[in-house]
Amino acid sequence: MAERHDAVDIIKTKRGGGTLADDQIDWVVDAYTRGVVADEQMSSLAMAILLRGMTREEISRWTAAMIATGERLDFSSLSRRTADKHSTGGVGDKITLPLAPLVAACGVAVPQLSGRGLGHTGGTLDKLEAIPGWRAALSNEEMMRQLEDVGAVICAAGSGLAPADKKLYALRDVTGTVEAIPLIASSIMSKKIAEGTGALVLDVKVGTGAFMKTEADARELARTMVDLGTDAGVVTTALLTDMSTPLGRACGNGLEVAESVEVLAGGGPADVVELTLALAREMLAGAGVTDVDPADALADGRAMDAWRRMIAAQGGDVDAPMPDAPHVEEVRAEADGVITRMDAMGVGVAAWRLGAGRARKEDPVQASAGVYLHRTLGEEVKAGDVIMTLHTETPERMPRGLAALADACDGAGTVEVTPGGSVERRLVIDRIA
Ligand code: URA
């Protein structure tokens, strides 16, 4: 059958800074997924998009075309409204773990389709897989049943959602075109819109440990994604949040599960609690629930109950302790003072090299590897105090983990201790609706 467009014309239009017609977009996304448009043609188009940008209408159409390549889930038969959260990824970002059961405990169902980590930011599924027996792969029927019974499900996104994105993301990864904001926004939102959630909150991270290093870029990405969600009929808001310092004290799969359980038990680090509550309020408001305070559900154990049911429903042993790493090394303060820098990228790369993350998508991850911050930003230390411990199952990784800490910030190091210093962190930088 003759094709109705020519890929080269489309590439040339975008290369020249032109606007693509709706039908050109529909065709090129579909034809790429079918294998009619070749990888080299799509990579050329992706580069033209990176350099020339796209209008709001083009991004919206591109997103719709990606959704149309796969299935769409439909939660309209559930007895409760749905809300979901997406984070652009950060170090120590375990927020999904306490957040999903917390929002479920407040009466809104949370269908959280997640991925595995690649690079220095961990994946939610990798974290939960540190729990013995826990199963990430659910059928659509199992997911629906759990959403109705428990109210929250965190599971692997099946390959049926926006298959065009899977192919295109892998191509962008090897052609230097990941950073194009129209392509990031349409990639994330095609999956979230296809997932069928009624409301969505985006946690757009900014800082050294984030995808977006500058506030201006993070703002543009947030604005683009909020517009895409809104145009598609999903109540969408975004919080711009700081990722120059890791969230909480635990970075690594099992370590982060343990810290999430502390939060669900009413304790845990203040920043993790603050962000969990801020995102929960956005999700509840998006689903039209404004008369419930999620802080109460954390304090009175309802969120913990929902967590236990959510993990048990997927085969996880909720009472199993997280594994201890057999090899642990301490990093101590060299002077008295206040920690005025705890660089997210330094800690994230160290945890990754220790075995918490993977370099290639087929690599296994270690459940007990990571970095635990006994002291973090703004806290006082005395010379000789333990600032952090490094954990791994494979001791030959230790030197590279330590080197990641030392090499961060162009060699200035991950940690800065300033005598008499002080520092303020604005965790939630802005809200975009
Ligand atoms: N995450 C995604 O899902 N897609 C991108 O393009 C970038 C991050």
- Residue 359 is predicted with a pLDDT of 79
The CA distance from 168 to 33, in Å, is 9
258 and 148 in a common domain: yes
Query: What CATH number does residue 62 fall under?
Result: 1.20.970.10
Nearest CA to ligand 1 atom 2: 188
- Residue 216 is predicted with a pLDDT of 97
- Residue 207 is predicted with a pLDDT of 96
pLDDT grade for 155, boundaries at 50, 70 and 90: very high
347 and 394 in a common domain: yes
CA of 178, closest atom in ligand 1 = 6
- Establish whether 159 is a catalytic residue: no
pLDDT grade for 116, boundaries at 50, 70 and 90: confident
Distance 371 CA to ligand 1 centre (A): 25
Q: Is residue 249, in this structure, part of any structural domain at all?
A: yes
- Establish whether 34 is a catalytic residue: no
230 and 208 in a common domain: yes
Whether residue 96 is predicted with pLDDT greater than 80 in this model: the reply is yes
Portion of the chain with pLDDT greater than 90, in percent: 93
**Pocket lining: 50 vs ligand 1, CB cutoff 6 Å:** no
Q: Give the residue from 193, 184, 290 showing the smallest Cα distance to 234.
A: 193
**Pocket lining: 234 vs ligand 1, CB cutoff 6 Å:** no
Distance 187 CA to ligand 1 centre (A): 5
The CA distance from 49 to 181, in Å, is 9
* Catalytic hit among 14, 81, 85, 86: 86
Distance 179 CA to ligand 1 centre (A): 9
pLDDT tens digits, one per residue of 66-94 = 999 999 999 999 999 999 999 999 999 99
Q: Alpha helix locations (H) across 123-180?
A: 124-128, 140-149, 163-173
Portion of the chain with pLDDT greater than 70, in percent: 100
CB contact at 8 A, 422 and 359: no
Nearest CA to ligand 1 atom 8: 184
Q: Which residues pair with 121 in a beta bridge?
A: 118
- Residue 91 is predicted with a pLDDT of 96
- Residue 362 is predicted with a pLDDT of 80
Q: Is residue 432, in this structure, part of any structural domain at all?
A: no
331 and 298 in a common domain: no
351 and 267 in a common domain: no
Signed CA dihedral, 396, 399, 400, 405: sign only: positive
- Residue 316 is predicted with a pLDDT of 98
The CA distance from 306 to 28, in Å, is 44
138 and 21 in a common domain: no
Q: Is residue 63, in this structure, part of any structural domain at all?
A: yes
128 and 251 in a common domain: yes
**Mapping DSSP to helix (H, G, I), strand (E, B) and coil, where does residue 106 land?**
coil
Query: What CATH number does residue 342 fall under?
Result: 3.90.1170.30
Distance 89 CA to ligand 1 centre (A): 9
- Residue 338 is predicted with a pLDDT of 98
Whether residue 5 is predicted with pLDDT greater than 80 in this model: the reply is yes
Among the residue ranges 99-103, 158-162, 296-300, 351-355, the one predicted with the least confidence is 158-162
pLDDT tens digits, one per residue of 319-362 = 999 999 999 999 999 999 999 999 999 999 999 999 999 877 78
User: How high does pLDDT run on average in the chain?
Assistant: 96
What is the mean pLDDT of the segment spanning 108-126? 86
Q: How many folded domains does the chain comprise?
A: 3
- Residue 333 is predicted with a pLDDT of 97
Pick the last residue of a domain from 288, 313, 338.
Answer: 313
- Residue 119 is predicted with a pLDDT of 72
Helix (H) / strand (E) element for 298: namely helix 294-299
Q: How many CB atoms lie within 10 A of CB 40?
A: 11
**Pocket lining: 169 vs ligand 1, CB cutoff 6 Å:** yes
Whether residue 290 is predicted with pLDDT greater than 90 in this model: the reply is yes
- Residue 115 is predicted with a pLDDT of 80
Q: Spell out a b/e string for 235-247, using b for 16 or more CB atoms within 10 Å of the CB, else e.
A: bbbbbbbbbbbbb
The CA distance from 281 to 201, in Å, is 10
pLDDT grade for 133, boundaries at 50, 70 and 90: very high
Q: Is residue 425, in this structure, part of any structural domain at all?
A: no
- Establish whether 15 is a catalytic residue: no
CA of 184, closest atom in ligand 1 = 6
What is the mean pLDDT of the segment spanning 175-203? 95
126 and 28 in a common domain: no
**Pocket lining: 190 vs ligand 1, CB cutoff 6 Å:** no
pLDDT tens digits, one per residue of 373-410 = 999 999 999 999 999 999 999 999 999 999 999 999 99
Single pTM value for the model: 0.96
Residue 89 Ramachandran class (φ > 0 left, ψ -120 to 50 alpha, else beta)? left
90 and 38 in a common domain: no
* Catalytic hit among 85, 116, 127, 172: 172
> Dihedral of the CA atoms 241, 242, 243, 248 (nearest 10)?
-90
* Catalytic hit among 61, 127, 191, 281: 191
209 and 116 in a common domain: yes
pLDDT tens digits, one per residue of 232-285 = 999 999 999 999 999 999 999 999 999 999 999 999 999 999 999 999 999 999
- Establish whether 187 is a catalytic residue: yes
The CA distance from 180 to 59, in Å, is 11
Q: If DSSP states are collapsed to H, E and C, what string results for 197-208?
A: CCEEEEEEEECC
pLDDT tens digits, one per residue of 20-38 = 999 999 999 999 999 999 9
**Pocket lining: 171 vs ligand 1, CB cutoff 6 Å:** no
- Could you give phi then psi for residue 109, rounded to 5 degrees? -80, 140
270 and 129 in a common domain: yes
- Residue 230 is predicted with a pLDDT of 96
- Residue 157 is predicted with a pLDDT of 86
Both tokens of 143, joined, read 């997911």
> Dihedral of the CA atoms 208, 214, 215, 218 (nearest 10)?
-90
Q: What residues make up the domain containing 371?
A: 327-418
On the 0-12 / 13-18 / 19+ scale of CB atoms within 10 A, 282 is buried
275 and 370 in a common domain: no
CB contact at 8 A, 378 and 140: no
What is the mean pLDDT of the segment spanning 148-176? 92
* Residue the block writes with tokens 């711009």: 240
Query: What CATH number does residue 130 fall under?
Result: 3.40.1030.10
CB contact at 8 A, 253 and 369: yes
Signed CA dihedral, 335, 396, 351, 179: sign only: positive
